[in-house]
């Protein structure tokens, strides 16, 4: 049935629908599409302002996709190793809130994690913790700037046009420059300030942190 879906959707939702960059579809109830009719509209029209595009296939094929997606939520999933409560302590101890927000609390320089458990699979989250540069989040491009006075700055790009650029540094300070004020402006599309947790955590601690992130499903 996934033959009806293009390669982009496979990369977004994962081969088993359990999530990646896009939503985890292997759930009994989907937050944005709790009914068959709502899921039909999402598949057919997409979700404006997100990475979910509309679909040009026939109504019959859309209903086939709906049936397949609904079947994913009925599959038995292996229980996760790790403990979410201990994982919350790991999250705090590692200072993750300096960059990431959960339920309105935290820093602005990394992706909001409030509903990351509803969006991403455990496998995707573990990979992001071990090798964060492997799949960089959209909208968090790192930039490095040198002013004409020699000041060196870096941060997450907030906005850029022909004449100016705005970015937020790791402390949360917003910087705005006209490009002719800069001696250098580099866009680092393959790097991230997020460290790898491969060596920072014992395997059990990594399991706990993944379990905590999976538990973050936002408001229903």
CATH of 142-188, one of 2.60.120.260, 2.60.40.1220, 2.30.30.100, 3.30.70.1380: 2.30.30.100
Q: pLDDT band for 20, please (50, 70, 90 cuts).
A: low
More reliable by pLDDT, 217 or 50? 217
Mean pLDDT, range 91-116, rounded to an integer: 93
Q: What pLDDT is stored for residue 141 in this prediction?
A: 92
Q: What pLDDT is stored for residue 10 in this prediction?
A: 46
What is the CA 80 to chain-centroid distance, rounded? 20
Q: What pLDDT is stored for residue 12 in this prediction?
A: 59
Mean pLDDT, range 92-104, rounded to an integer: 95
Chain mean pLDDT for the chain: 83
Percent of the chain surpassing pLDDT 90: 47
Per-position b or e across 50-68, b if 16+ CB within 10 A of its CB: eebeebebeeebbbebbee
Residue 202 has pLDDT above 70, yes or no: yes
pTM of the shown model: 0.70
Percent of the chain surpassing pLDDT 70: 79
Residue 76 has pLDDT above 60, yes or no: no
Q: pLDDT band for 21, please (50, 70, 90 cuts).
A: low
Residues 2-72, CATH architecture:
Orthogonal Bundle (1.10)
- Are domains 2-72 and 84-131+197-215 of this chain identical in fold? yes
More reliable by pLDDT, 62 or 214? 214
- Are 115 and 104 a contacting pair, CB within 8 Å? no
Q: Tell me the CB-side half-sphere exposure of residue 155, using CA atoms within 13 A.
A: 24
Residue 159 has pLDDT above 60, yes or no: yes
Residues 84-131+197-215, CATH architecture:
Orthogonal Bundle (1.10)
Residue 186 has pLDDT above 90, yes or no: yes
Residue 92 has pLDDT above 90, yes or no: yes
Q: What pLDDT is stored for residue 26 in this prediction?
A: 65
Residue 19 exposed, middle or buried by CB count within 10 Å (0-12, 13-18, 19+)? buried
Q: What pLDDT is stored for residue 64 in this prediction?
A: 83
Residue 36 has pLDDT above 80, yes or no: no
Q: What pLDDT is stored for residue 3 in this prediction?
A: 44
Q: Please state, in angstroms and as integers, the Cα–Cα distance from residue 145 to each residue in 59, 78, 91, 189, following that order.
A: 50, 46, 30, 14
- Are 193 and 157 a contacting pair, CB within 8 Å? no
Domain ranges of the chain: 2-72, 84-131+197-215, 142-188
Q: Please provide the distance, in angstroms rounded to a whole number, between the alpha carbons at the two ends of the chain.
A: 28
């Amino acid at each position: 049935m996934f033959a009806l879906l293009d390669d982009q959707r496979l990369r977004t939702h994962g081969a088993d629908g359990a999530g990646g960059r896009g939503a985890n579809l292997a759930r009994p109830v989907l937050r944005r599409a709790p009914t068959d009719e709502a899921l039909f509209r999402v598949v057919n029209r997409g979700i404006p302002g997100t990475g979910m595009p509309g679909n040009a296939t026939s109504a019959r094929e859309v209903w086939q996709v709906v049936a397949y997606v609904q079947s994913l939520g009925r599959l038995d999933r292996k229980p996760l190793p790790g403990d979410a409560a201990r994982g919350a302590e790991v999250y705090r101890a590692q200072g993750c809130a300096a960059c990431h927000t959960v339920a309105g609390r935290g820093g602005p320089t990394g992706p909001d994690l409030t509903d990351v458990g509803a969006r991403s699979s455990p496998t995707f989250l573990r990979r992001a913790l071990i090798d964060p540069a492997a799949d960089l989040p959209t909208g968090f491009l790192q930039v490095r700037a040198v002013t004409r006075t020699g000041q060196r700055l870096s941060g997450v790009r907030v906005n850029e046009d022909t004449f100016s650029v705005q970015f937020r540094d790791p402390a949360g300070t917003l910087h705005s420059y006209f490009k002719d004020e800069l001696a250098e402006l580099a866009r680092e599309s393959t790097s991230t300030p997020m460290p790898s947790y491969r060596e920072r955590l014992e395997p059990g601690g990594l399991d706990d942190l993944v379990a905590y992130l999976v538990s973050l499903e936002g408001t229903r």
